[in-house]
Chain A
């Protein structure tokens, strides 16, 4: 392959003329396993060398379904100095943060120890990830904010990790993954929600994870496209569980952010839940309101990968139902299904709606980001 000229920057206009954006889903990557060593005890470094870090899935490492692009990344996102996409702050600044005028970028590290089956190792790796975010990212670029990565299958350890960063303004949300071992509303995860509400951070639930269950409710599918589409099914099951288990009644002030699983399905899920709850209310008397009301008050959504219906105006109906204060623009940089802020929302909307969509909602949701 002969690519003689890197097309940088790819954008048409200088950053100054672009709308300021928040990005609810940026993936910083390690350049290698050793990046975490400064924050791992010798015990865990040797453990990793001897035993590895098996996840709660039938594969030793990596995702169940190979991605359509190497490292699930844009082919133009490889740093010129080498290393994996997302591993270079300077290249992330040059390719994404600066030209796209990103004022607030939320870091969601993946492959960081969440879902590792050894619970103590999972907790140690998650903590190392959190310290690594501080040392390598947020302390070097104030636009970037960290997520408290928690070993969510051990909710007690997770809650301790959340409280450890209660007073650190670099951390603005708690990060879980959607494929948990039990449905998201299960009691075993409640200490996470309790701690998050206590410290004022929303809990972001990012697509993927290692629950050990098939990636669709109907079993293991044949194709990657089914896994991609299955993320919304998984988030629907998780959100349904959060609502009907009464999590939002129990932990007042808890905010959830659904990340990278679409949002256009929210109205239909809400309508179905409402219909069934009207007839089955007595089964879950701990709910005081229609399920849709919990969804509209306590849940936010990152936008990428945006649904792209024809005509595009159908999205407006969805957004109007959800409310213009609910959606948080996200790119998923440096991953291959990146949404570009210039092209992602080709709709006629008001200036106030555009500002809320691209930045205002993010500033309202993430802890201490009101600017």
Chain B
């Protein structure tokens, strides 16, 4: 397990996302109201690039005729076949017990700490003034 500096925190505004590479793996990073989440950029169904999916909410019905819309901005639909995933946990909604997508913890670290190490900054230069997104893999 190592910690990888992948972007500055301000690069991804709330509601935004960015594709990064960590140890050769494509990871989609999402900003949900200031919290950051990482997800493997391959749908477990047929490999669709998750980072280009639609971010939406959750539509549920306890019974026909009663509809509840919740968790706005927290559900990702694969850009190919539209399978729904919880950005925070990777859980699917078509078969929640069996199908999930791989997620990676993302933390915000101060530049002073990142510069001190032992972080891997593969592609971006770091400075003490910035805040950085760190993926653990």
Contacts and interface: CB of A to CB of B under 8 A. Distances in A.
A2 B17 contact: yes
A304 B130 CA distance: 48
Contacts of A10: 41-42, 47-49
A6 B52 CA distance: 8
Interface in B1-39: 11-13, 15-20, 26
A342 interface: yes
B55 interface: yes
A338 interface: yes
Contacts of B12: 2, 4
Interface stretch (B78-86, B100-108, B112-120): B78-86
Contact of B80 (A4, A338, A342): A338
A367 B78 CA distance: 37
Contacts of A307: none
B63 interface: no
A7 B51 contact: yes
Nearest to B20: A5
A11 B20 CA distance: 15
A344 B46 contact: yes
Contacts of B15: 1-2
B81 A337 contact: yes
B111 interface: no
Contacts of B82: 68-69, 336
A343 B12 CA distance: 31
B46 A339 contact: yes
A76 B79 contact: yes
B8 to A, nearest CB: 12
B55 A1 contact: yes
Given A75-B54, A75-B79, A76-B79, A343 B45 contact: yes
Contacts of B79: 69, 74-76
Contacts of A3: 17, 19, 51-52
A334 to B, nearest CB: 10
Nearest to A335: B80
Interface size class of B (residues with CB under 8 A): 20 to 34
Given A75-B52, A343-B45, A4 B11 contact: yes
A154 interface: no
Contact of A75 (B18, B20, B26, B53): B53
Contacts of A74: 48, 79-80
Contacts of A338: 46, 80-81
B30 to A, nearest CB: 10
B18 A4 contact: yes
Nearest to B52: A76
A6 B18 CA distance: 9
A131 interface: no
Interface in A15-60: none
A202 B48 CA distance: 32
Nearest to A11: B47
A335 to B, nearest CB: 9
Interface in B61-83: 79-82
Interface in A307-357: 336-340, 342-344
A167 to B, nearest CB: 39
Nearest to A343: B46
A366 B72 CA distance: 48
Contact of B18 (A2, A68, A340, A342): A2
> Which of the listed residues B47, B51, B54, B80 has the most CB atoms from chain A within 10 Å of its own CB?
B80
A17 to B, nearest CB: 16
B28 to A, nearest CB: 8
A337 B48 CA distance: 11
Contacts of B54: 75
B92 to A, nearest CB: 14
A206 B46 CA distance: 23
> Which of the listed residues A3, A69, A342 has the most CB atoms from chain B within 10 Å of its own CB?
A3
* 7 shortest interchain CB distances as A-B pairs: A2-B16, A75-B79, A5-B19, A7-B49, A343-B46, A76-B52, A340-B46
Interface of B: 11-13, 15-20, 26, 41-42, 45-49, 51-55, 79-82
Given A336-B82, A340-B46, 6 more contacts: A2-B15, A3-B52, A6-B19, A7-B52, A74-B48, A76-B48
20 contacts: A2-B13, A2-B15, A3-B17, A3-B52, A4-B11, A4-B17, A4-B18, A5-B19, A6-B52, A7-B26, A7-B51, A11-B47, A68-B82, A74-B48, A74-B79, A76-B79, A336-B82, A338-B80, A340-B46, A344-B46
